[in-house]
Amino acid sequence: MILEVTRRCNMCCEHCLRGDAQNLDMAEETVDKLLEQVGSIATVTFSGGEPSLNVPLIRYFFKKARECGVMPYSFYVVTNGKANQLDLAAVLLEVYPEMEEPEACGISLSVDQYHEELDTSPLVKGLVFYDPQKEHQDFDERWVLRRGRAYESGIGTAGVTKEFQVEGDGGDGVMVEELYVSADGSIYPDCNLSYDDMESDYEQVPIENALPFLTGLLKEELAEAV
Ligand code: SF4
């Protein structure tokens, strides 16, 4: 599960696949409606925009997940390191002992030629679950997805667009390989889309209809298989 907790950002990277930042935060109501329909969560990733600009929503997600008995097994977040790092670290450290798969937890810092260089040593690098996988001394342009601002800049490659991968869970439920929940409260199968692509290439499925929509997809697949 990937939550786009905000579309705001405090950087303006040339390679940003999202496109221009938007003044939009995920609402607590979206988290409520999402978790009402969820039986379990393997891992939650907080995405953006820049996720550190909406730490209160991240905190709210864990509070609500705890109440609903659906704490994820692990978490992951990539931050540009520019703001609210103490708050972000605090909320993740608080829930870390509750994670069933702590070895799968991570926070990564974006370090490459496209992001602004930070003049202080980022605090998150000292966390026990810090993961350096997003530190690239010289990020190969071929790995940049040509979407959003990268498309405008003419850099990167096209990238692949996904469809929802669903299967039955043996009961009445649906297992979803990847569920992207955007800040506007709609669901998508792909975390690598620009905001424009989301609007133009996909059916807008509001979060309250996620389970019926995905169940419908599963029924279609089963009908095709027989
Ligand atoms: S790549 Fe990340 S930090 Fe850079 S503009 Fe896009 S969302 Fe912001």
The range of the structural domain enclosing residue 34 comes to 2-225
CA distance 142 to 148: 15
Which of 58, 42, 41, 44 is closest to 6 using CA atoms?
A: 58
Query: 79 alpha carbon to ligand 1 midpoint, in Å?
Result: 9
Burial 142-153 (b: 16+ CB within 10 A, else e): eebbbbbbbbee
CB 18 near ligand 1, within 6 Å: yes
Q: In this predicted structure, what is the pLDDT of residue 8?
A: 98
Q: What is the pLDDT of residues 160-204, one digit of tens each?
A: 788 999 999 888 789 999 999 999 999 999 899 999 999 998 999
How long a stretch of residues is the chain?
226
pLDDT at 139 over 80: yes
CB distance 105 to 75 below 8 Å: yes
User: Is the beta carbon of 13 within 6 A of some atom in ligand 1?
Assistant: yes
Q: What is the pLDDT of residue 52?
A: 98
CA 60 to centroid of ligand 1, rounded, Å:
23
Q: 160 CB contacts (<8 Å, ≥6 apart)?
A: 192
pLDDT digits (tens, 9 = 90+) for 206-215: 999 999 999 9
Is pLDDT above 90 for 24?
A: yes
Of the pLDDT bands very low, low, confident and very high (cuts 50, 70, 90), residue 51 is very high
Number of structural domains, the chain?
1
Tally the C-alpha atoms within 13 A of residue 112's C-alpha that lie toward its C-beta. Answer: 19
Residue 73 has pLDDT above 90, yes or no: yes
3-state secondary structure at position 167: strand
pTM for this predicted structure: 0.96
CB distance 16 to ligand 1 below 6 Å: yes
- Would the CB of 17 count as within 6 Å of ligand 1? no
- Kindly report the average pLDDT of the chain as a whole number: 95
